[in-house]
Structures are given as C-alpha cells and as structure tokens.
C-alpha cells in the first residue's frame, strides 16, 4: 500500500451542531451543509487563500473553522454566503441540481425544500411525506427528484414543483441507504440499496426490475466506479468490504467480487474520477479514507480523516479534490507526495476475490482458476529447481506413459462435481451504530 502524506487543506468542526449532510457545488468552490438542528449554510471557499495560509503556517496545520448554528468562526478564506433554519429537526439529505442553480434539502419534518443557490430563497416545497426521508438524487436530464425513505419506498417528485409523480412501495424491507441514477443508459432507471439487498428500478414501473439476492450483510453505501459509464457499481458493506456489481453480467442479481477495505463498516464510497476509471474512495467507520485500485483489488492509499469520527460522507469538488465528512468534522484535502508502506500492503492484499482487466468472461474465469493457477506455478517452480539433480528421461518413454494413462482413464468413472459451499447467514449485533441508524431520534 502507498502511505498517504496528503494534507488537509481546511477542517470544518461541527462540535456544537453535528453535520448531517453536505454537498459540493458542481462548478464552483462552494459547499452547502445541513446540520442536526435543521440549519442549512452555504459556504464560499477561497482555495488560493487557504493554500497560501497553509504554506505560511509555522506548524503546517490547515485552517480550522468552527461551524456553529448561526455563525462561522475562522479566517476570511471561507465566508458564509447565507444560512437559514430550513427544517424542523435534522437536515437529513442535501444536494445540488445538475447545474448547481438550486439546492434541495430534506429534513426530519418529512418535507423537501428547493432553494436558489445564490440567495437561499425557497422557491418550492413538497407535501409532507408518509415516512422519514433518507436519500435524495436528482436526474441530470429530466425533471425528476428521487426520494428514498425509511420505510424502503421510492418516491419520484417533479424537481420544479416538488409534486409527486411516481411511487414504488417497499423496494427494500428497511430504510433506503443509497440512491444512484442510471444516466446515460436510462433517464428513468435508478439503483438503490437498503438492508441486505440492491434493487434496480424504473420509476414508471410498480415493481423493481431486479432485486438482488440477499447479501447476508448490510449495504450501507453505493456509487458508480465511472459515473459517465455506469457498468460497475460499488457497494460499501457493514463487514468492511466493498462489493463489485456488473449489471451487464447478471442484471444486478448478485455481486461479482469483493475487495477488503477495513475491518470496520464502509460508510461511504465515491469514484475518484480518474482518467482511467480504475480508482475509488471508501470511507470507514474507524475514521479512515482508503483509495482503492479496482482493477488490482487493493488499497493503494489510506488517509486519516479523524480518530474519533466515522467517514459518513464523501464528495469530489469541482477541481477534483476529495472531501470527507462525519458528524463532527468536514475536511477538504490537498494532494501531496506519497511514500511506500510495504508492511501494510501485505494486510490489504489479505482478501481479494475480484477480477482484473475489462473482459467479463476472463474475470469470472480468474475467480475460479486463481487457486489452481497458483498451485500449478508452485509445482512448476519446484520441478524446475530439481531438474538439475535428475537424469534426463527420453521423450519416447514419456509419450508411452501418457498414452497408457489416457487408455486407463477411459475405464474410470468421471469425477463427481464439488458442491459450492453454502454461505451461512451470520447473525451479528454491531456494537456500533452506522448507516442510517445514526439518525435515529434526530
């Protein structure tokens, strides 16, 4: 693994009003944050000033800001565009539209509000929903705002008027933990996770197009490896792995492979938006953020967001900087040089049941043949080491022995197929609460 020396450019501390949601503007250095008290704030970030302050800092520490319910304390590199008490109870989800002209926020009051990004003025409100809201996602090319609820329902609203258009009940048995659109393949299709399943839906249909097999592990987060080419879905799991899904191979019936990230739940995942489309970020319950090479199936970099706060949120700003967030802290990262850490590399390669390359068939073959391939290589290596000590055997003798073996094998019964071991469902009670459970009562 590569040990990161990437620096934090700025830290926002939410000690007096916990962070419940945030989003980065698609084209500007602007953040919008929603808190536990229902406050929504728009913050304008002067990146050049922050970089200058970091370069001149005698202790090398980033700028620190204290985000309070009604104010922002810190240097002038970050300013408050506007703030408002938007919801009764916590602000549970907040997003920008595709152009960044409007902000959608959802609160514990079961209502969604649409506001102008420039002024914060509300331009539309939804009716009160029947269930608490967990997730929001806006369709880039249609006037669709998709809402996930604690009851496992999906609701589609008109993103202009916030009037209900479609409703799919009980997509999942429990709260919806993540939502993703399927653009550019379809403007009407979305992928959701909840409890121990993944669902592929068309909002015009009353039932999901596909419901995955029970994964026997909670799906906490999800995202496309390449958002512009949605052929690989990543899901963060409560047992510390990221599962890889390829709809073109099995239509989301089951995961294709898994990558070990941590021993703690993977609370958030997001594409690194690299040019090759191979990397993604994964945030864990223990406060670390891992950069993962999906092609190799290994963690290549690890950053410490916090030693006391989980990484519940990840985003990428308009200049491709990583942003990590938990209830106590939000960090914008500045890239730095990296150094090797071989000792941790051995631990990260401990579990990988994935694939390499783009060929789907080859990927599946590698899953079943990897063990035998390693055994064959080992045997070949041992044979080559001992060849010098053995006398050469004439080729004619070898040929005769092989033919004799083939003739004998015709009389033998074919070997019985080995049954695939059935994975037993493990009933675990997590000592910690994660995913949507952390919002209980707020």
Q: What is the pLDDT of residues 245-278, one digit of tens each?
A: 999 999 999 999 999 999 999 999 999 999 999 9
Counted residue by residue, the chain has a size of: 442
Are 185 and 143 spatial neighbours (Cβ–Cβ below 8 Å)?
no
Level-2 CATH architecture, domain 131-211: Beta Barrel (2.40)
Q: What is the pTM of this model?
A: 0.79
70 closest CA partner among 91, 81, 84: 84
**Residue numbers in the chain where pLDDT is lower than 70:** 1-5, 336-441
Helix (H, G, I), strand (E, B) or coil at 336: coil
How many other CB atoms sit within 10 Å of the CB of residue 364?
A: 15
Structure confidence at residue 91 (pLDDT): 98
Structure confidence at residue 335 (pLDDT): 78
Structure confidence at residue 59 (pLDDT): 87
Q: How far is CA 377 from CA 121, 365, 381, in A?
A: 67, 17, 6
Query: For residue 54, what is the enclosing H or E element?
Result: helix 47-56
Taking phi over 0 as left and psi of -120 to 50 as alpha, with beta for the rest, 390 belongs to beta
Structure confidence at residue 323 (pLDDT): 98
What are the domain boundaries of the chain? 131-211
Residues paired with 340 in a beta bridge: 2
Question: How far apart are the C-alpha atoms of 68 and 16, rounded to whole Å?
Answer: 6
Structure confidence at residue 379 (pLDDT): 42
Question: How far apart are the C-alpha atoms of 46 and 28, rounded to whole Å?
Answer: 10
Structure confidence at residue 60 (pLDDT): 86
**Nearest 5 degrees, angle CA 316-CA 326-CA 18?**
125
Structure confidence at residue 363 (pLDDT): 42
Structure confidence at residue 384 (pLDDT): 41
Structure confidence at residue 440 (pLDDT): 61
Structure confidence at residue 77 (pLDDT): 97
Rg (C-alpha) for the chain, rounded Å, is 26
Question: How far apart are the C-alpha atoms of 114 and 116, rounded to whole Å?
Answer: 7
226 closest CA partner among 294, 290, 324: 294
Structure confidence at residue 58 (pLDDT): 85
Structure confidence at residue 339 (pLDDT): 47
């Amino acid at each position: 693994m590569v040990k990161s020396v990437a620096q934090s450019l700025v830290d926002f501390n939410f000690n007096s009003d916990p962070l419940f949601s945030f989003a980065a503007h698609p084209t500007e250095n602007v953040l919008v944050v929603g808190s536990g008290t229902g406050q929504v704030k728009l913050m304008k970030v002067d990146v050049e000033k922050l970089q200058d302050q970091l370069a001149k800092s005698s202790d090398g520490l980033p700028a620190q800001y204290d985000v309070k319910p009604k104010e922002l304390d810190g240097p002038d590199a970050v300013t408050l565009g506007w703030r408002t008490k938007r919801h009764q109870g916590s602000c549970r989800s907040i997003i920008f539209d595709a152009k960044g002209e409007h902000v959608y926020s959802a609160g514990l009051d079961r209502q969604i509000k649409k506001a102008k990004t420039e002024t914060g003025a509300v331009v539309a409100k939804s009716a009160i929903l029947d269930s608490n809201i967990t997730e929001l996602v806006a369709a880039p090319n249609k006037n669709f705002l998709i809402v996930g609820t604690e009851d496992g329902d999906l609701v589609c609203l008109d993103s202009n008027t916030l009037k209900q258009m479609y409703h799919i009940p009980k997509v999942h048995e429990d709260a919806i933990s993540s939502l993703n659109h399927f653009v550019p393949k379809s403007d009407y299709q979305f992928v959701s996770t909840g409890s121990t399943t993944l669902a592929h839906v068309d909002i015009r249909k009353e039932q999901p197009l596909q419901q995955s097999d029970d994964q026997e592990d909670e799906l906490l987060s999800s995202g496309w490896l390449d958002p512009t080419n949605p052929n690989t879905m990543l899901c963060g799991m409560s047992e510390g792995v990221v599962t890889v899904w390829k709809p073109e191979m099995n239509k989301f019936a089951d995961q294709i492979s898994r990558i070990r990230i941590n021993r703690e739940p993977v609370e958030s995942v997001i594409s690194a938006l690299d040019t090759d489309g191979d990397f993604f970020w994964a945030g864990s319950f223990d406060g670390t953020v891992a950069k993962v090479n999906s092609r190799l199936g290994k963690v290549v970099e690890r950053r410490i967001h916090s030693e006391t706060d989980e990484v519940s949120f990840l985003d990428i700003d308009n200049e491709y900087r990583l942003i990590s967030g938990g209830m106590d802290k939000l960090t914008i990262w500045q890239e730095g040089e990296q150094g090797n850490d071989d000792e941790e590399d051995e631990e990260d390669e401990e579990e990988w049941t994935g694939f390499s390359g783009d060929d789907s068939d080859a990927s599946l073959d590698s899953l079943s043949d990897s063990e035998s391939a390693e055994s064959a290589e080992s045997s070949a290596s041992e044979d080559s080491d001992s060849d010098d000590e053995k006398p050469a055997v004439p080729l004619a003798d070898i040929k005769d022995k092989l033919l004799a073996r083939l003739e004998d094998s015709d009389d033998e019964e074919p070997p019985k197929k080995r049954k695939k071991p059935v994975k037993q469902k493990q009933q675990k009670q997590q000592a910690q609460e994660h995913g949507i459970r952390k919002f209980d009562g707020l």
